[in-house]
Chains A and B, each alone.
Chain A
């Protein structure tokens, strides 16, 4: 409407109206505005927005459940809620956060939106399959929400047998079916990314010109393909076990519950890298942009992504050291687990080396990225404690584990998600968010996160087990501290939801490249047109072609 109006009135045009908006094709957000055009969209950018809206909803549900858990733990004697309610609260928190937020979070939203843009393609290879994956996701979500509405589940997100098959009296079946279904959504997304990255790159976009974001999503997609089917089988067997007592996980018939754990962790350990690798990709884009410096050790970071995705399949048994697996298995899995530290450290060193002597701008995305690096290091190093057989005996299933994986998943993935959301928000929406509010929220989240979870390392080391509604009174101070931190964290989450939504209508219009960043996604308009590029993008000579280069690179090139 407004576009055609301004074409008709070119002569009367206000002098300060930017030239480029005249007669420009409408962007992907404004191309069509019917509900149908959203719910039957095959444009990868619109599907990414569908995912973004749905996973934000799940994040809220999961966060509320976490709030309930922290509320219950303010008092040591379980006076606030019954054991059953507490068990259901942490199960809903885990199931929703892991399966319906963390796993799809960055790939299904940013990956969906950005991979075709970054490689210079018009869309993913299979746009209809992409839409299907969102509907599959929502179908799985529906089952899980039904189980929550009917009365909840109390097995924990891991659904260990025989608790989930023989003892739990809660709504385990719908939850299991929901999680099984959502796996297919992951598989379809991963398949689409793998094929797209292999076959849809623009002419001249060779593998070593791809942004690290694309590399990490390729690695993630391989994990989607290679790991997810195994948990599908494990869950199918679990469903059959609960519904028909088939016996394979039931010791009463000679079945082996540890076998479920093997199949479960064959997926669920690599799933940690489904959650972490895309975040690493986001950080690898943000850090060079805000240091205005070429990414240090590009090839090492790229190889480390594939390395992590491969090594992660050899370490699942470190979740099972005290569960009765053979000593040989524990030894092998423990030794191999240390190998994970190598590619992880490669990445951390390369990010810090990129920051070194860069021209730093501490805008919101960079604040999140710096927070990510610090928290990921803490989370990663405490992982080494847990991989050590003798120490693991002491801290297994304590709050030390809870703190460790929250440092990786919240400190890592959630911070990367929020950093990426601010970094690409202008590209997604065409609007700038409020920078002061962004910085305040980033600092609040960093502060709130550490106050929430650092005490849990201490609690765990002192021996407080996870998954209990009661604890000895001497642990109360640290628990109250943790709950207080969760309140700060909650405020840090609420602010972005408000000012980002506000910016959709009242934010400043974003230029094509507000951060002066490199990468094909910044070459096109904000928001991009329906087919991404109006003219075929020109692939740069080298990736991350920022003005500042590392000393070594300058020395080499004379």
Chain B
């Protein structure tokens, strides 16, 4: 077994750096986006801030799906399935709002 970190060979350390690069960068990006939303939520700078907040959330969701869950590396079928649920949520919300926004 190859732990702890200090005992790693130079090759292994390079391998580790290469393999963990994407997860760590994703992690940092998610934290940064969350910081934006928390700041906006805490300060409420203007009335329509919820639009910005939802956009930030959309970016976070896309990051998790595409990078953390590796959808970009998957075959088309999995990509289709990863988007299908969101499309159906849009149908559900959209058709329900034809009622509630027109009452």
Contact = CB atoms under 8 A, between A and B. Distances in A.
Is A in direct contact with B (CB under 8 Å) within the complex?
yes
Interface in B81-103: 84-85, 88, 91-92, 95-96, 98-103
A270 to B, nearest CB: 10
Contacts of A198: 77
Nearest to A222: B84
B102 A328 contact: yes
B102 A326 contact: yes
Given A198-B77, A226-B84, A226-B88, A316 B95 contact: yes
B8 to A, nearest CB: 38
Contacts of A314: 91, 95
A313 B91 contact: yes
A333 B77 CA distance: 31
A328 B94 CA distance: 13
Contacts of A262: 96, 99
What is the interface of chain A mostly: helix, strand, loop, or mixed?
Answer: helix
Interface string A191-219: 00000001000000000000000000000
A327 B101 CA distance: 11
Query: Interface size class for chain B?
Result: 10 to 19
A317 interface: yes
Interface residues of A, number: 17
A326 B85 CA distance: 27
B85 to A, nearest CB: 8
A327 B102 contact: yes
A313 B88 contact: yes
Given A198-B77, A226-B84, A226-B88, A328 B98 contact: yes
A476 B95 CA distance: 42
Nearest to A313: B91
A317 B95 CA distance: 9
A539 interface: no
Nearest to B97: A329
A40 interface: no
Contacts of B88: 226, 313
A231 to B, nearest CB: 12
A183 B100 CA distance: 27
Among A230, A316, A328, the most chain B Cβ lie within 10 Å of the Cβ of A328
Interface of A: 198, 226, 230, 258, 262, 266, 313-314, 316-317, 325-329, 332-333
Given A313-B88, A316-B95, A333-B98, 5 more contacts: A230-B92, A266-B96, A325-B99, A326-B102, A327-B102
19 contacts: A198-B77, A226-B84, A230-B92, A262-B96, A262-B99, A314-B95, A316-B95, A317-B95, A325-B99, A326-B98, A326-B99, A326-B100, A326-B101, A326-B103, A327-B102, A328-B102, A329-B99, A333-B95, A333-B98
Interface of B: 77, 84-85, 88, 91-92, 95-96, 98-103
